[in-house]
Chains A and B, each alone.
Chain A
Amino acid sequence: MTSVTMPETGGPGDGSVILRCEGITKAFQGVHAVNGAAFDVVKGQVTALIGPNGAGKTTLVNILSGSMTCDRGHEFIGGTEVTNWPSHRIARLGLMRTFQLSRELGGLTVLENLLVAPHQQPGESLFNVFFRPRLVKRQERAYVERALDLLDTYGLYRLRDNRAGELSGGQKKLLEISRAVMVSPQVLLLDEPMAGVNPALIDRIGGYILDLQRSGVTVLMIEHNLNVVEQICDHVIVLAEGRTLATGRLSELRQNEQVVKAYLGEVIDAGTDR
């Protein structure tokens, strides 16, 4: 792995590491999808995870979020080792995620998609439902207010009573992000948030991500759109063949021959004197 100088913190973080992976490895029937990936994500930064198709980016995000277990390696969130913890425990530590192909809860309304997000709600206990209904109602109202605020911010307010399965692709992307934000996450993993959305919406999603960073959320996003990476990401991790190939600012990585060969290829060739 090539190490490139760590960038200065762009957001409100204190420069400490909030997410660390050490030697994460995952093989499927002998084929290594992730092969010793290791990197740090600094608190308060927007970090991009880039790499060619098949580099293991989504598998790695699945492992980091607990949707999949790893064969070897370690994962830490804020100093706590969470290697191979189940999804729900990792989520309760404050790491939320979105999916490469939007996975809305299609039978629920847009509003309900957000309402389901808060962890360990009082109303999820049947004891509270029957014997502490006022507590449940009060908490539910607070959730509804917050959810409506978020739907307003993310431009989905008018669709609040629609079933989520009826939304367009771009709207589903927004719904996924707003659903993850509903629980005020510490770390947000975004799997290709700009994929398949129109240019105007790409601008807006970029704005939302920077807003989240300003509010203290650490973002790790898989992204292929290098304009987006260049403009909103403080730090970039390049993954190739399941390994961390390099880390640093995109401008620095453009000069890295290994990165150019593995991922950037023709685009960089056109802009450099090789």
Chain B
Amino acid sequence: MSGTWYYIFTLAFFLFDYFILAMGLNIQYGETGILNFAYIGFVAIGAYVTGVLSLPSSAGTGQYYILGLSLPFPVNLLLGGLTASAFAVLVALIALRRLRTDYLAMVLISLSLVLYDVCNNYVPLFNGADGLYNVPEPFAAALKLNTNSFIPFFAAVTGVIALFMWFVMSRVTRSPAGRTFRAIRDDEVVAAALGKDVFRQQLKSMLIGSFYAGIGGGLLIQFSGSFNPTAWLPGETFVVFAVILVGGVGNNIGLLVGALLVETLLVHLPAFLPAIPGAPGLIEYFDAVLIGVLLMVMLWFRPQGVVPERARRAASFGVKARLGTAAGELAEHVGSARAPQATTEPVALTTEGSGP
């Protein structure tokens, strides 16, 4: 496989993986309004758990980690996703029940830092700052894949998983459950006044989103074969935020566009560009600058993102269109004149002056 194809399949993997990560954050932030600044922590949990479930016992490997069960793919991946979800429930029970918006965001970003420090410094957990490595490549032995053939194979596997997860997420977001999430995003107080158990719904959203984070993280460690704390610095959460803000909050297709623009073109492509003479390594730091500039431009000129959230029209519910009755005309008369031939009789309340 030529170097160009290697790059293309690597970029394709990151496109699909970040699409999954963006869908997870989008249901939390874009659909339910939860500012989860610890999102990358849930990605890391998924990655580490997938890794240690896939690796053999740590004895004699030169690494220190828990578990080491040699579980096959995708069992380890699913368990990685479920562990991230379980952790999200724990966090939600502590933080989400009592805190809202800004305060919740502060607690979550603190949680992200604590998680990072624990994983970085407590070596017996996930091998500390060195992280996990030599993680077995899924199906590589069974299909006799070498490094060159594994990359396109696993990019395709990730693509299929992303497609399936997109289908599932679309069903959720287009269902009444998704509508309730968006109601909570727009106004928690109103949603509660309409009989919605806001905490329970937010918990559900955290659970789904964190499962996606865990799966995305698990795919990362399976693709690269290694994962260490430099891969999930707390600031990485904002790259996923940039994906959904640029692509379009609340729109799954927008997330794919966002993943393409931000993760594929801005984060990974510069690493493959030739070095600037006299400043080797400089180009790799351009991604943060470019993402920052792109975010500012988008928020200024197109805050709804490249592909905005779509309004669900009445026709899409499969109910036949009807002609509005005369009362329906009122909509056009509000603010100008009394509606003609109303179905509900108006009462003459305004003929005299009102009270104090």
Contact = CB atoms under 8 A, between A and B. Distances in A.
Contacts of B335: 168, 170, 198, 201
Contact of A112 (B179, B195, B346, B351): B179
A265 interface: yes
Contacts of A82: none
B354 A225 contact: yes
A92 B329 CA distance: 33
A155 B329 contact: yes
Most chain A CB within 10 A, of B198, B338, B355, is at: B355
Interface stretch (B68-76, B168-176, B230-238): B168-176
A109 interface: yes
A76 interface: no
Contacts of A87: 189, 192-193
Contacts of A255: none
Given A97-B193, A157-B328, A112 B349 contact: no
A109 B313 contact: yes
A107 B182 contact: yes
A133 to B, nearest CB: 9
Interface in B160-185: 171-172, 175-177, 179-180, 182-183, 185
A158 B338 CA distance: 17
B134 to A, nearest CB: 38
Nearest to B350: A199
Contact of A141 (B312, B317, B329, B356): B317
Interface string B337-356: 11100111111111111111
B331 interface: yes
Contacts of B193: 65-67, 87-88, 91, 96-97
Interface stretch (B125-133, B148-156, B319-327): B319-327
Given A109-B312, A145-B319, A228-B349, A155 B356 contact: no
Contact of B172 (A126, A140, A155, A179): A126
A227 B352 CA distance: 7
A88 B354 contact: no
B198 A88 contact: yes
Contact of A160 (B175, B185, B314): B314
A246 to B, nearest CB: 16
B331 A136 contact: no
B197 interface: yes
B330 interface: yes
Nearest to A86: B192
A155 B347 contact: no
Contacts of B1: none
Interface in B296-333: 309, 311-314, 317-319, 322, 324-325, 327-333
Contacts of B141: none
Most chain A CB within 10 A, of B193, B345, B350, B353, is at: B193
A201 to B, nearest CB: 6
A224 interface: yes
Contacts of B311: 108-109, 112, 161-163
Nearest to A265: B356
A-B pairs with lowest CB-CB distance, top 9: A155-B330, A226-B355, A123-B176, A91-B195, A87-B192, A157-B324, A199-B350, A203-B346, A157-B328
A134 interface: no
B344 A207 contact: yes
Contact of B338 (A88, A162, A179, A200): A200
Interface string A160-200: 11110000101100100001000100000000000000111
Given A108-B186, A226-B355, A152 B346 contact: no
A153 B346 CA distance: 12
Contacts of A204: 330, 338-339, 342, 344, 346
A105 B187 contact: yes
A125 interface: yes
Nearest to A143: B176
Given A204-B342, A206-B347, A226-B354, A91 B194 contact: yes
Contacts of B333: 155, 200
B349 A158 contact: no
Nearest to B315: A161
A17 interface: no
